[in-house]
Chain A
Amino acid sequence: MQNAVPLSWYLILSAILFGLGVAGFIYRRNIITVFMSIELMLNAVNLSFIAFSYALKRVDGHIFSFFVMVVAAAEAAVGLAIILTVFKNRETLMIDDVSSMKY
């Protein structure tokens, strides 16, 4: 076949993006950047769903990916509202400084 791309490359790309999302989530201190790393992880998972949907020649992967997008939208809205409230009370966006419930 002319110039076909093996499916495993798409899955490897999805794994790399997911790994980078986890790295950002663990390493960064600004809460908004942590949130964006979560969105990166969700995007990587979407790519996996669409790739497998191509392999099985069914459209159900697309539909599940659509639901993931919807849930990500709801989560982003509520999460950013929580971030706004935390900022209003603590005046800081660094997660290290929101530590008043630590031992």
Chain B
Amino acid sequence: MTALIFFIFAGIAVFCAINLVAQTHPIASALSLIGVMGSLAILYLQLGGEFIAAAQVIVYAGAIMVLFVFVIMLLNAGAEGTSLQVSQFAKYLGIVLLAAFLGLISFIIQSMLPRTEGVVFGAFQGGTALDVGRKLFTVYLLPFEVTSVLILIAIVGAIVLARKEI
């Protein structure tokens, strides 16, 4: 059951990622990225990260990608035209080399990782909101405060960059 769910959602994630790279219209790429994020949230649930799965959907798929979709709609980005400068041979060679590289990496990871026990849904119960919150506000308090200052800087920067010059 765990393997079945893993294969289904990993397949959806890889399919959407290929779709992201291959589609010409940015809106189609944005929706494929939302598909990737959704299937990754399911995989996080399998690995016991329930709070992170919810945070992924709320923050990443529900806020950051909405921002992307807004910008694409506002700028009226159309489909990319064919470029005359990239040679077709280089493109196909690139795809083959990418596949070979990823296959090599997979083999190395598979053989290097020690034979620990596999992933079973429900084996790791330490990813609840309680555990994350406990660690976040005691051990990792300084990074937490620094990231809130970072967000404040980002807000001010985004407003300054994107406002209308009167």
Tell me whether chain B's interface is mostly helix, strand or loop, or mixed.
Answer: helix
CB of B47 within 8 A of CB of A54, answer yes
Number of interchain pairs (Cβ within 8 Å): 227
Indicate which residue in B13, B14, B135 contacts A60 across the interface (CB closer than 8 Å). B135
Which of B1-28 touch A at CB < 8 Å?
A: 1-3, 6, 10, 13-14, 17-18, 20-21, 26
CB of A9 within 8 A of CB of B6, answer yes
CB of B6 within 8 A of CB of A8, answer no
CB of A62 within 8 A of CB of B51, answer yes
Indicate which residue in B37, B47, B110, B120 contacts A4 across the interface (CB closer than 8 Å). B120
Interface of A toward B, CB cutoff 8 Å: 1-13, 15-17, 19-21, 23-24, 27-30, 32-33, 35-37, 39-40, 43, 46-47, 50-51, 53-55, 57-60, 62-63, 65-67, 69-78, 80-85, 87, 93-94, 96
Interface of B toward A, CB cutoff 8 Å: 1-3, 6, 10, 13-14, 17-18, 20-21, 26, 29-30, 33, 36-37, 40, 43-44, 46-49, 51-52, 55-56, 59-60, 63-64, 67-68, 71-72, 74-75, 77, 80, 83, 85, 91, 94, 98, 101-102, 105-106, 109-110, 113, 116-120, 123-124, 126-127, 131-132, 135-136, 140, 143, 147, 150-151, 153-155, 157-159, 161-162
